[in-house]
Amino acid sequence: MINRLIFVVVLLWICQSCKTADQQAFEADIIIYGGTASAIIAAVQAKQSGKSVVVVSPDQHLGGLSSGGLGFTDTGDKSTIGGLARDFYHRIYLHYEDSAAWRWQQHAEYGNKGQGTPAMDGDARTMWIFEPHVAERVFEDYVKEFDIEVRRDEWLDRDAGVAVEDGRIRSITTLSGTTYRGKMFIDATYEGDLMAAAGVSYHVGREANSVYGEKWNGLQTGVLHHKHWFASNVSPYKIPGDSSSGLLYGVSAEPPGGYGQGDHRVQAYCFRMCLSNHPDNRVAFPKPDGYNPEHYELLARVFAAGWRETFEKFDPIPNRKTDTNNHGPFSTDFIGMNYDYPEASYERRREIIKAHENYQKGLMYFLANDPRVPDEVRQEMVQWGLAKDEFIDNGHWPHQLYIREARRMIGQYVMTEHDTFSEREITDPVGMGSYTLDSHNTQRYVKPDGFVQNEGDIGVSTNGPYRIAYGSIIPKKEECENLLVPVCVSSSHIAFGSIRMEPVFMILGQSAALAASLALDRECAVQDLDYSELERQLLAEKQILRK
């Protein structure tokens, strides 16, 4: 009797262990790491290609920046946006055609902002400007419609969680202990964590102009683009003009470096805040913990010099809301405070994100309350607040920091400014870009004349659409044969400045999934794929490859 009891107990323990093991292992043709717009679009394409797919998302909310506040879409030439990316913006259009979508504003009052014209699909209209929760709903609709398996709050074990054998990723394991086995993998994160953990080469920071024979890469000391620089002489010292008094908050004591040199610095991050000026849908700007008004003394001096462009980038989105972006010499970009983010631990990244949140909340509180802010600015500012019906589980604050740039793969082909200017022929396009070569500031320093200046802001036209190479979304074959990287693409810093737009990430996500599916069908490495066959399938899916 005792032996039988022991046998039953052991059997139950074995069964429970097997059940636990099953719960901690998933398998699919394609494993996508990331919860960005690129990741979800890639998953839709994988399903449409008849492949099994699991999205392993560190994020609870899907869509990345597209659902995280960036609703005033950076598009460039909209005719280059096809495939599922265009379908996303068509679905946005359909949402706003419903009168119920206009809760805080009449549709007629908002007008025709952000709407495209009938194009590839005849009557398939598009809308490029939208509220964050609307974008998130579209991504969730994709998940339901295509029955996509999404595992949320799953963080890659970056130290020991990527199993590579014979040049191929076999599985990834997250910090929860869950293992995901696949035949193809797509890293669709803003940080490129899977790519890096798999041993693929990458770069952080700006390359010297000499590396790829470029003009707009590297340090841009003395180059002044956009309006994000100090047009007036402003002292960086606590006591104006007295260097012995010490530097104001946010000003670096380091020399900036010489024009065209490479460095480790990363362009500034910010949150794309969704604000409202509707009295029934706004929340007053909170005073953040540790608020120090002296952190904004530089801005007070900019105001004193006559600057009055505070509201220049309160870009209007539907329902009396904004996509609020950086503008001016001192704004929402937390310049110089993100250099270690790309390679940082998860804990350190959370600290950096929190510091950005506190800085930006403090900036809004300062603008609305500090007596050093001109009266007319304060009076306008108090009409605004955080949109009450956005990001409701996060205190109405965006859940995604704008990671404008982190790691960039050094893959089979490196896109450079020469490609964005169409100076070289791309024979294997998987999408197109067209946006300005755009980099935000990377540092704030003291000039030899003793005044403060920003450095790193660039805005250079591409003079038309350009092709993006298939080789830029795949690693070198000797490094990994079954990984595609549609976000941290293989490009120089300045080329990435144009490529890094959300519609392009969606385009490249779809192309990556199609390539992965085709490589599975042909049982080959992604680098050995017959491009002509891939091209036919891309065109069949209405991707735009040439203009």
C-alpha to C-alpha distance for 383 and 283, rounded to whole angstroms: 10
Give residue 9's identity as a one-letter amino acid code. Answer: V
Give residue 414's identity as a one-letter amino acid code. Answer: V
Average pLDDT over residues 144-168: 98
Q: How many CB atoms lie within 10 A of CB 513?
A: 32
For residue 297, pLDDT over 50 is answered with yes
Residue % of the chain over a pLDDT of 70: 95
Residue % of the chain over a pLDDT of 90: 91
- Write out the E strands in 362-442: 385-387, 407-409, 429-433, 437-439
For residue 34, pLDDT over 80 is answered with yes
Contacts of 268 by beta carbon, 8 Å cutoff, 6+ apart:
326, 333, 334, 335, 336, 337, 338, 404, 440, 441, 442, 456
Segment 364-398, tens digit of pLDDT: 999 999 999 999 999 999 999 999 999 999 999 99
* Sign for the pseudo-dihedral over CA of 196, 197, 200, 201: positive
For residue 537, pLDDT over 70 is answered with yes
Segment 50-101, tens digit of pLDDT: 999 999 999 999 999 999 999 999 999 999 999 999 999 999 999 999 999 9
For residue 118, pLDDT over 60 is answered with no
C-alpha to C-alpha distance for 230 and 305, rounded to whole angstroms: 10
Structural tokens at position 294: 């002296």
C-alpha to C-alpha distance for 322 and 162, rounded to whole angstroms: 40
DSSP conformational letter for 245: E
pLDDT at position 314 is 97
For residue 6, pLDDT over 80 is answered with no
C-alpha to C-alpha distance for 53 and 31, rounded to whole angstroms: 6
Segment 310-363, tens digit of pLDDT: 999 999 999 999 999 999 999 999 999 999 999 999 999 999 999 999 999 999
pLDDT at position 23 is 52
Segment 251-287, tens digit of pLDDT: 999 999 999 999 999 999 999 999 999 999 999 999 9
In which band, very low, low, confident or very high, does the pLDDT at 123 lie, cut at 50, 70 and 90?
low
Structural tokens at position 365: 């509180």
Segment 470-492, tens digit of pLDDT: 999 999 999 999 999 999 999 99
pLDDT at position 222 is 81
Which of 242, 203, 182, 199 shows the shortest CA–CA distance to 52? 182
Residues 43/514, Cβ–Cβ less than 8 Å: no
Q: How far is CA 231 from CA 227, 294, 306, in A?
A: 8, 21, 10
In which band, very low, low, confident or very high, does the pLDDT at 452 lie, cut at 50, 70 and 90?
very high
pLDDT at position 8 is 43
pLDDT at position 224 is 75
Helix (H) or strand (E) holding 237: strand 237-239
C-alpha to C-alpha distance for 255 and 448, rounded to whole angstroms: 10
Can you give the pTM of this predicted structure?
0.94
